[in-house]
């Protein structure tokens, strides 16, 4: 072979690679790296997903006439690739890895094999990093970017105006779920022989890693991922918008798509997913606020987050605006807690590596912020615990969006709330041992006093350019000295008793 392509585990779609590859059929190289798998205690189902979908994809490539070199290394990707290049005289192309460390490693291979290796830009995303990267900063919000991408793609545009007259229909998208509302079923897949083999390998090799592996029901091929996309468009998209922020005991998916893992390794591409949603809207099968809300998550948040990563790495890895130093509460590992909302948000992560956006943001991150946990610890947890986690997408969401660790580059305020918000959006509090109506003292919902403690202590972050924030004002002027003392006492007791990772 005079030409070869190295395809990483999250680049599994030839439609996103240059056209010449399908015509010329160079050698395709895949590498399984034990060191990458061991670099964090990744969820066992995440590792299963990564390896099984890569193995399936490699087999599909051979079936469509490619020669494939499938290599396994004890080391990292650079070790595997260097070993291959030692015995290969042709030209090798790799696509810029979306994750920083792998990128650095492949670039070092490129400098060691200067005349043989070339890097091409990553084409699994819609927005061009160079066009937007310099804009990232506290004055540039996702919404500005999103409008530009709407214009660029023409998605939901009516000439120069947004479809329906508004750019954003979020006001219609904040409903809690009515009691007894029917809930959708999700198609599940039985593991085939390839997946079973991978499950065994992961169980034996990564025994101490996070999460359960007694079942595995995710798609691992493009065909299966397309079945899930069809199912979402048909059965859930229409209600995605209104119940996007809702939380429900015993159901951690509701009307969400659960497509992030397939978008993040290429089995599905962002444009096709958006175009299917648009098609449903134009056929009258899905309402505008749902389709707009869904498309905004993909061409807005997902793309913006990736540009933020490119602009902020690597320094952002150390971001810790509030200077919190506490370890992660142990319940993030065990799911064992009297707090129903935390139990409901951690358990599905242990069982399946997934919980939906509001659980990640308004329960897990909120609790981490209020318990003054080091955001880098939370960041690490999100990276290894979720099936859809890759550093480029989880880090901005954790250190930028949900913990305010970057000091306000991505979000304008920290995402924190008292038990009231959780009670409004969910039925968790009804099933909880704590009382959401009690503000302090024994059995009071900890979110209540922890929230006011946070507002008090982090008042500078809430106050806006000299103006006193509404909540800070509430604390200062509407709470009696006795209430303030009770908040401090309850907080101190709760934080002192909280079991944390050692």
Beta carbon of residue 358, minimum distance to ligand FAD (angstroms, whole number): 8
Beta carbon of residue 147, minimum distance to ligand FAD (angstroms, whole number): 17
| 85 vs 342 by CB, closer to ligand FAD | 342
Beta carbon of residue 239, minimum distance to ligand FAD (angstroms, whole number): 12
| 404 vs 449 by CB, closer to ligand FAD | 404
Closest CA to 244 of 298, 176, 194, 308: 176
Query: Distance between CA 499 and CA 331 in Å, rounded?
Result: 8
| 109 vs 126 by CB, closer to ligand FAD | 126
Query: Distance between CA 389 and CA 99 in Å, rounded?
Result: 11
Coil, helix or strand at residue 163: helix
Cross-strand bridge partners of residue 32: 72
| 124 vs 449 by CB, closer to ligand FAD | 124
| 366 vs 458 by CB, closer to ligand FAD | 366
264 and 388 Cβ atoms separated by less than 8 Å: yes
Q: In this structure, what is the dihedral angle of CA atoms 272, 273, 276, 281, given to the nearest 10 degrees?
A: -130
Beta carbon of residue 256, minimum distance to ligand FAD (angstroms, whole number): 3
| 393 vs 432 by CB, closer to ligand FAD | 393
Q: At what angle do helices 288-295 and 270-282 cross, to 10 degrees?
A: 170
| 58 vs 268 by CB, closer to ligand FAD | 268
| 293 vs 446 by CB, closer to ligand FAD | 293
E strand map for 178-317? none
Query: Distance between CA 401 and CA 297 in Å, rounded?
Result: 14
| 128 vs 492 by CB, closer to ligand FAD | 128
| 93 vs 264 by CB, closer to ligand FAD | 264
Closest CA to 140 of 466, 408, 407: 408
Distances (CA, A) of 146 to 168, 196, 271, 288: 10, 41, 14, 16
Beta carbon of residue 397, minimum distance to ligand FAD (angstroms, whole number): 4
Beta carbon of residue 198, minimum distance to ligand FAD (angstroms, whole number): 21
Q: In this structure, what is the dihedral angle of CA atoms 174, 176, 182, 187, given to the nearest 10 degrees?
A: 60
| 386 vs 449 by CB, closer to ligand FAD | 386
| 93 vs 257 by CB, closer to ligand FAD | 257
Beta carbon of residue 302, minimum distance to ligand FAD (angstroms, whole number): 3
Beta carbon of residue 31, minimum distance to ligand FAD (angstroms, whole number): 22
56 and 221 Cβ atoms separated by less than 8 Å: yes
Query: Distance between CA 371 and CA 325 in Å, rounded?
Result: 10
SS (H, E, C) 69-102: EEEEECCCHHHHHHHHHHCCCCEEEEECCCCHHH
Query: Distance between CA 170 and CA 395 in Å, rounded?
Result: 24
Beta carbon of residue 62, minimum distance to ligand FAD (angstroms, whole number): 29
Q: How many residues does the chain have?
A: 502
Beta carbon of residue 489, minimum distance to ligand FAD (angstroms, whole number): 30
Instruction: Count CA within 13 A, CB hemisphere, residue 97.
Output: 18
Beta carbon of residue 268, minimum distance to ligand FAD (angstroms, whole number): 9
Beta carbon of residue 207, minimum distance to ligand FAD (angstroms, whole number): 24
Beta carbon of residue 355, minimum distance to ligand FAD (angstroms, whole number): 8
At residue 67, φ and ψ (nearest 5 deg) are -90, 135
| 206 vs 367 by CB, closer to ligand FAD | 367
Coil, helix or strand at residue 3: strand
Beta-strand pair 27-33/161-162: unpaired
Q: DSSP per residue over 335-393, as a string?
A: ---S-HHHHHHHHHHHHHS---HHIIIIIIIHHHHHTTB-HHHHHHHHHHH-TT--HHH
Footprint on this chain of ligand FAD (rule: CB under 6 A): 256-260, 263-264, 294, 297-298, 301-302, 305, 356-357, 360-361, 365, 382, 386, 388-389, 393-394, 397-398, 401-402
Query: Distance between CA 457 and CA 298 in Å, rounded?
Result: 35
């Amino acid at each position: 072979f005079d030409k070869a392509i190295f395809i990483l585990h999250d680049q599994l779609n030839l439609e996103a690679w240059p056209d010449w590859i399908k015509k010329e059929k160079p050698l395709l190289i895949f590498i399984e790296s034990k060191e990458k798998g061991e670099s964090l205690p990744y969820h066992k189902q995440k590792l299963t997903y990564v390896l099984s979908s890569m193995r399936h994809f490699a087999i599909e490539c051979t079936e469509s006439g490619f020669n494939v070199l499938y290599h396994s290394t004890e080391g990292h990707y650079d070790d595997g690739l260097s070993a291959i290049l030692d015995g290969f005289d042709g030209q090798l192309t790799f696509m810029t890895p979306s994750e920083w460390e792998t990128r650095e490693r492949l670039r070092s291979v490129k400098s060691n094999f200067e005349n043989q290796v070339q890097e091409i830009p990553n084409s699994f995303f819609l927005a061009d990093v160079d066009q937007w990267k310099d804009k990232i900063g506290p004055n540039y919000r996702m919404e500005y970017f999103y409008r530009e991408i709407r214009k660029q793609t023409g998605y939901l545009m009516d000439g120069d105006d947004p479809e329906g007259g508004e750019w954003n229909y979020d006001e219609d998208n904040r409903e809690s779920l009515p009691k007894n509302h029917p809930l959708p079923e999700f198609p599940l897949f039985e593991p085939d022989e390839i997946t079973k083999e991978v499950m065994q390998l992961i169980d034996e090799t990564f025994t101490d890693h996070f999460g359960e592996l007694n079942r595995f029901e995710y798609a691992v091929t493009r065909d299966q991922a397309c079945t899930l996309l069809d199912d979402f468009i048909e059965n859930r998209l229409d209600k995605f918008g209104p119940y996007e922020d809702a939380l429900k005991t015993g159901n951690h998916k509701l009307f969400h798509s659960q497509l992030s893992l397939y978008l993040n390794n290429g089995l599905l591409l962002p444009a096709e997913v958006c175009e299917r949603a648009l098609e449903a809207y134009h056929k009258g099968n899905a309402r505008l606020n749902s389709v707009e809300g869904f498309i905004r998550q993909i061409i807005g948040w997902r793309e913006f987050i990736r540009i933020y990563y490119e602009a902020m790495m690597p320094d952002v890895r150390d971001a810790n605006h509030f200077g919190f130093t506490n370890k992660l509460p142990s319940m993030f590992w065990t799911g064992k807690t009297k707090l129903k909302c935390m139990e409901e948000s951690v358990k599905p992560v242990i069982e399946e590596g997934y919980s939906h956006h509001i659980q990640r943001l308004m329960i897990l991150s909120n609790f981490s912020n209020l318990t003054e946990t080091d955001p880098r610890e939370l960041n690490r947890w999100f990276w290894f615990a979720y099936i859809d986690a890759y550093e480029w997408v989880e880090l901005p969401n954790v250190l930028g969006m949900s913990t305010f660790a970057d000091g306000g580059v991505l979000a304008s305020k920290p995402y924190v709330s008292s038990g009231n918000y959780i009670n409004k959006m969910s039925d968790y509090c009804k099933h909880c041992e704590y009382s959401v109506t009690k503000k302090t003292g024994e059995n009071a919902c900890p979110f209540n006093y922890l929230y006011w403690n946070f507002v008090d202590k982090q008042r500078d972050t809430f106050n806006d350019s000299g103006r006193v924030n509404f909540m800070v004002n509430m604390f200062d002027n509407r709470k009696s000295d006795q209430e303030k003392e009770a908040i401090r006492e309850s907080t101190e007791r709760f934080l002192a008793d909280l079991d944390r990772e050692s």
